[in-house]
Structure 1
Amino acid sequence: MKAILICAALAAASLTGCAGLSADVHTANPSAALQGARTYTISRMPSQDASTDHPQFETMLRDELAKNGFIDTAGKSAHYLLSIAYDTRPATVGVSVKDCAPGACERAPEPPFALFGGRAYQHSLTLRLFEQSSGQEVYSVNAASSDRDADPLHAMPALVKSALAKFPFDAPPDWRVKLRTDQASGMPNVVSVKPVQP
């Protein structure tokens, strides 16, 4: 029981930011050669057209993509179509038990109270690049982080920085990006980008 409480306390500490900001990044088609003109246009879903948050996400992405030499053609002909998806949902903290009998390792129901001062939230951002001429997906990257703020706008700067910390990410497909908040601007800066060891 003591070990479980210590693990839960450590998980809570990492969610509150004691260890600094970090995000897990996963890529499909790592080492993909992004050939041709670095021009793109954003492909929106109807729900994104109606969203009040989405224009702010796009502005952050345009700024970071511009640092990587990508130019938004604002709906005109471009080499790539960019698809953006993001999500914020309550996260769960689980405890795994090694060598338990089948059927005896069912997940326990969530506690009726929030441990350590608040509910945790999982934020994710997925960017997908398609060649406009062929419709073929040539690159996909997903960044995910956890904190105690349900507002996706709060998490988005760190997710954008993480997803584009290397562009494109090469193999292996899984990376850990560590960030630090700049005291003057309040914006996150990338501190390190390291592959996740299996």
Structure 2
Amino acid sequence: MHKTTLMCAALAAASLCGCAGLNADVHSANPAAGLPGEPTYTIMRMPSQDASADHPQFEALLRDELAKRGFVAATGNATHYLLSIAYDTRPATVGVGGKDCAPSDCAKADAPFALFGGAAYQHSLTLRFFERTSGEERYKVRAVIADRDADPLHAMPVLVKSALAKFPFDASDWRVKLRQDKASGVPDVISVKPLPQ
């Protein structure tokens, strides 16, 4: 068997090889309550996000995608939900967990080698919706991808599309497959399927 085929087979789950396609793993929680009430929200920033030059671009991407799903940015008492955004980029790891662990909870081992001459990175985005009046968390979704680009700005369009591919997701773990539009460079969702339990 060709070496490239063997490497792709070994790395497909981490989406680190070109022949594995563009995939994101998504984990959701609290969907039983759904997102009832007015579809209005205010983004709550952490101090580090206020100081970040990149954060406004992340927020703009999220606002655009949320607007497509009927959610409207609001202020003050007109806000039904407070939206918390967390994201990070770190050297990629290889999962070694079993059937019962969610993608975000599986045990990890450091990637032992650089892929095709470059380091691998894991990017994640977590969105949490809290009811403004009660402070209760109503919905949480986390999307994770791996690639060889350390720039979180390049990963963010895929993460946002994946996290909102179904809105809200049912409580489970999902695999979102995407493709890059050659003309616009914008990722499009091809399929959303639950991961085997």
Task: Give the TM-score band, short-chain normalised.
Answer: 0.7 to 0.9
TM-aligned CA distance change 1:121 to 1:190, over 3 Å: same
Percent of matched pairs sharing the same residue: 71
Query: Which residues in structure 2 correspond to 1:12-31 (within 5 Å)?
Result: 12=11, 14-31=15-32
Q: Which amino acid aligns with 2:146?
A: S
The question of whether the paired residues in 2 share the 8 Å contact of 1:26 and 1:174 is answered with yes
> Does 1:189 find its partner at 2:188?
yes
The CA deviation string for residues 79-102 of structure 1, in whole angstroms up to 9 with x for no partner, is: 000000000000133779xxxxxx
AA of the residue aligned to 2:164: L
Give the TM-score normalised by structure 2: 0.84
Output the CA distance in 1 between the equivalents of 2:85 and 2:133.
19
Distance, in Å, in 2 between the alignment partners of 1:192 and 1:44 is 31
Deviations, residues 145-165 of structure 1 (Å, cap 9, x unaligned) = 000000000000000000000
Secondary structure, in 3 states, of the residue corresponding to 2:93?
A: coil
Deviation at 1:9, TM superposition (A): 5.0
Say yes or no: does 1:64 pair with 2:65. Answer: yes
Q: What per-residue deviation string (whole Å, max 9, x for no partner) do you get for residues 41-79 of structure 1?
A: 000000000000100000000000001100001x43300
The alpha-carbon deviation at position 32 of structure 1 amounts to: 2.9
Measured at CA, do residues 131 and 94 of structure 1 come closer, stay the same or move farther in structure 2, by a change above 3 Å? Answer: closer
- For residues 138 and 8 of structure 1, do their structure 2 counterparts lie closer, same or farther at Cα, with a shift above 3 Å needed? same
Larger mean Cα displacement after TM superposition, 14-23 or 82-91: 14-23
Structure 2: which amino acid aligns with 1:155?
A
Q: Unpaired segments of 5 or more residues in structure 2?
A: 98-107
Deviates more, 1:44-53 or 1:30-39: 30-39
Kindly name which structure, 1 or 2, has the bigger radius of gyration based on alpha carbons.
1
CA RMSD of aligned residues (A): 2.5
Is 1:39 the equivalent of 2:40?
yes
Runs of 4 or more consecutive aligned structure 1 residues displaced over 2 Å after TM superposition: 5-14, 16-19, 30-33, 92-96, 107-111, 113-116
Query: CA contact under 8 A between 2:8 and 2:17: conserved in structure 1?
Result: no
| Cα separation, 1, equivalents of 2:194 and 2:176 | 9
| Aligned pairs for 1:134-173 within 5 A | 134-171=134-171, 173=172
SS across alignment from 1:155: helix
8 Å contact kept, 2:39–2:71:
yes
TM-score under structure 1 length normalisation: 0.83
CA contact (8 A) 1:23 1:177 kept: yes
Deviation at residue 183 of structure 1 after TM alignment: 1.0
How many pairs does the alignment contain?
Answer: 183
Q: Deviations over 1:98-148 (max 9, x none)?
A: xxxxxxxxx98865x624221110000000000000000000000000000
| Preserved CA contact (<8 Å) 1:180 1:190 | yes
Counterpart Cα distance in 1 of 2:138 and 2:187: 28
Change (3 A) 1:94 1:33: closer
SS at match of 1:159: helix
For 2:80, the aligned partner's letter is H
Tell me the equivalent position of 1:100.
Answer: none
Q: For 1:45 and 1:163, how far apart are their aligned partners in 2?
A: 20
